[in-house]
Amino acid sequence: MSNAVWQYTAPGRLSTTLTASTRPIPTPGPGEVVVGVKAAALNPVDEQLAQSSPRLLKFIGATEPSETSPLTPSSDFAGVITAVGDGVTQFTVGDEVYGQRFSADGNGFLAEYVCIPASAPFIHKPAGLDWAQAAAVPLVYSTVYDALVVWGRLPFDPTDEDKAKQRTVLVLGGSSGTGSAAIQLARKMGLRVAATCSAANAELVKSLGAEEVIDYTTEDVTARALASPLAPFAEILDCVGGTDLVPHLDALILADAAAPQLGVYVTIVGDKTSRDAMGGAVTNLYYPAQAIRTLKGVVGEYLPNWIPGPLRSLVAGKRYACIRLVPTKDKLATYESFMAAGGKITLDSTHEFAQAKAAYERLESGRARGKVVVQVAK
Ligand SMILES: NC(=O)c1ccc[n+]([C@@H]2O[C@H](COP(=O)([O-])OP(=O)(O)OC[C@H]3O[C@@H](n4cnc5c(N)ncnc54)[C@H](OP(=O)(O)O)[C@@H]3O)[C@@H](O)[C@H]2O)c1
């Protein structure tokens, strides 16, 4: 038996560089399991890794593609355990699991069988999730959980008292894989939501729970956000990138003396706007203004109140964070509670394994409405 995989050996867009190949089925070492992959989800970071310079790959500890080192993309999976190594106690052969493992070493999930450490952020799959749905969850759900709960400091399970406060969130990019999950998680957390998207996606974004929709293609997003009845926001969650709202954070971000921990601009992209460039915290290296803004946010939180306004605005600002998700098994386990509240990861499209290049073409278009998933095995 062989292991069918998609792989690339040179930098470039995955819709053109991927080739179908085979490898031996891996054997698990101590503490490892082999997953028979049923479905894998695609993420912009797959493309960013595939298009990064050798220097950046080295800096972030990622493997460089070459003829002698072919790489397989995709960090999200759902599948069945087919073998377990010595010392693995929490999983047995036949267990249905879902989760993620950052594919920076090229050991990604566009493959029939993948060997991963049992400690990686994957868990047993809830019975109510089919394979495609399950594969779509881990990366985007963990990211928006980090954004709203960890960095936003908003309660995952709000009390009636929390709900009565009618806290609000602005999601930039409401129809994206991350944005569509963020709107639903925010609603589950009792938050009121405004979101940006194009007119074509307005109905989708409203159906997910956004009560105010701003068409970024025809409207001035900054002016609409400033005039929004939901402003000031307990959090602005930016799934798009750029700096349009940055000059207005004082007006847009909540300042509540009774809840001083709240009020933050969280971006999962950074100041950059290119979809192909690596995002997240690494962008602080390329955008000094973003790094300074982050530091000013930290100072702003701890600066005593008696420091006068002009000095305050020189050294301090609203809390600001460009984040990179930190996936854990515990975070993923909260997905069942999100599901129970009616949350569902939005699927843009599912593709047969043989059509993996077309699936990446859809992702590269930048027009996906939710997640793009590849069905690896029936
Ligand atoms: N930091 C992290 O840990 C982390 C984790 C996950 C993702 N990310 C990053 O987050 C970004 C989004 O990822 P994703 O998977 O959600 O992307 P995606 O699903 O591929 O994004 C496509 C969607 O974005 C919408 N869109 C494009 N430009 C927009 C704009 N200016 N305003 C509003 N909506 C816009 C598109 O709608 P239209 O067709 O209407 O334009 C489309 O629905 C990527 O850069 C990714 O690398 C970072």
CATH number for position 110: 3.90.180.10
pLDDT of residue 219: 98
Paired strand residues for 215: 197
For ligand 1, atom 8, name the residue with the nearest CA.
268
DSSP-H helix ranges across the chain: 14-17, 44-50, 54-59, 131-136, 138-145, 160-164, 177-188, 202-208, 221-227, 249-252, 288-302, 309-315, 329-333, 335-340, 356-364
Between 280 and 276, where is the model more confident? 276
Distance from the CA of 42 to the center of ligand 1, in angstroms?
A: 12
- Look up residue 133 and give its two tokens: 């749905």
Is the CB of residue 198 below 6 angstroms from any atom belonging to ligand 1?
Answer: yes
pLDDT at 176: 97
* Ligand 1 and 270: CB distance under 6 A: no
Amino acid at 327: P
Task: Identify whether residues 126 and 177 lie together within a single domain.
Answer: no
Distance from the alpha carbon of residue 91 to the mean position of ligand 1, in angstroms: 34
The token pair at 35 is 């997953």
Between CA 72 and CA 294 the distance in angstroms is 34
How many angstroms does the Cα of residue 256 sit away from the middle of ligand 1? Answer: 30
Distances in Å between the Cα of 211 and the Cα atoms of 10, 94, 203, 359 are 45, 43, 11, 31
Pocket test of ligand 1: the residue of 100, 198, 360 to mutate, having most ligand atoms within 8 Å of its CB, is 198
Going by C-alpha positions, the residue among 52, 51, 2 that lies closest to residue 26 is 2
| 131 & 149 share domain | no
Total domains in the chain come to: 2
Model confidence over 44-61: pLDDT tens digits?
999 999 999 999 999 999
CA 125 to chain centroid: 19
Beta carbon of 45 within 6 Å of any ligand 1 atom: yes
Q: In this structure, what is the dihedral angle of CA atoms 65, 66, 70, 75, given to the nearest 10 degrees?
A: 0
Q: Of 283, 306, 322, which residue sits at a domain end?
A: 322
Q: Which residue puts its alpha carbon closest to atom 5 of ligand 1?
A: 143
Model pLDDT, residue 344: 96
**In the predicted structure, residue 88 carries a pLDDT above the cut 80:** yes
**Beta-carbon count within 10 A of 161 CB:** 8
Average pLDDT over residues 155-164: 97
**Mean pLDDT taken over the chain:** 96
Atom 37 of ligand 1: nearest residue by CA position? 367
Same domain, 355 and 304: no
Residues 180 and 206 in one domain: yes
296 phi and psi, to 5 degrees? -65, -35
Q: How far is CA 319 from the centre of its chain?
A: 20
> Is ligand 1 within 6 A of the CB of residue 42?
no
For the residues 308-320, what does the mean pLDDT come to?
A: 88
Residue 100 lies in a domain: yes
Residue 307: is its pLDDT beyond 90?
no
Determine the residue of 43, 185, 239, 275 to mutate for testing ligand 1's pocket, defined as the one with the most ligand atoms within 8 A of the Cβ atom.
239
The answer to whether residue 327 is domain-embedded is no
Q: Would you say 275 and 366 are in contact if contact means Cβ atoms under 8 Å apart?
A: yes
Confidence of residue 303 (pLDDT cuts 50, 70, 90): confident
DSSP for 121-135, written as a single string: SEEEPPTT--HHHHH
* Structural domain contains residue 79: yes
Nearest atom (ligand 1) to Cα of 44: 47
Amino acid identity of 346? T
Both 316 and 206 in one domain: the answer is yes
Pairing assessment for the beta strands 192-197 and 212-215 based on DSSP bridges: parallel
Q: Is residue 335 domain-resident? A: no
Ligand 1 test: best mutation among 60, 175, 276, 328, most atoms within 8 Å of CB?
Answer: 175
Q: Establish if 89 belongs to a structural domain.
A: yes
Q: Are residues 72 and 158 in the same domain?
A: no
Same structural domain, 302 and 243? yes
Q: Note whether residue 88 is domain-resident.
A: yes
Tell me, yes or no, whether 130 and 179 share the same domain.
Answer: no
Q: Which two tokens stand for residue 315?
A: 């050294």
Average pLDDT (97-113) is: 96
Q: Which domain holds residue 17?
A: 3-137+346-375
Specify the CATH number for the domain of residue 244.
3.40.50.720
* Nearest residue by C-alpha to atom 28 in ligand 1: 240
Q: Ligand 1: distance of its center to the CA of 367 in Å?
A: 9
Q: Give the Å distance between the CA of 149 and the centre of ligand 1.
A: 20
User: Considering only CA atoms, which residue is closest to atom 40 of ligand 1?
Assistant: 198
Q: Are 369 and 23 in contact (CB under 8 A)?
A: no
Query: Ligand 1 center to residue 33 CA distance, Å?
Result: 32
| Predicted pLDDT of residue 348 | 98
Cβ–ligand 1 distance for 136 under 6 Å, the answer no
Look at residue 205 and tell me if it is in a domain: yes
Q: What number is the average pLDDT over the span 1-20?
A: 96
- Cα torsion 5, 60, 326, 31 to 10°: value is 60
**Domain C-terminal end among 322, 338, 357:** 322
Q: For ligand 1, what atom is nearest to the CA of residue 45?
A: 47
Residue 183 near ligand 1, beta carbon < 6 Å:
no
Question: Do 237 and 147 form a contact (C-beta atoms < 8 A)?
Answer: yes
Residues 83 and 188 in one domain: no
Q: How far is the CA of 94 from the centre of ligand 1 (A)?
A: 35
Q: What is the pLDDT of residues 222-273, one digit of tens each?
A: 999 999 999 999 999 999 999 999 999 999 999 999 999 999 999 999 999 8
Distance 176 CA to ligand 1 centre (A): 5
- Looking at the structure, do residues 8 and 118 belong to the same domain, yes or no? yes
| Residue 151 maps to a domain | yes
- 336-367 pLDDT per residue, tens: 999 999 999 999 999 999 999 999 999 999 99
User: What percent of the chain clears pLDDT 90, i.e. is strictly above it?
Assistant: 90
**151, 276: one domain:** yes
Residue 96: predicted pLDDT? 98
Let me know whether 145 and 125 are in one domain.
Answer: no
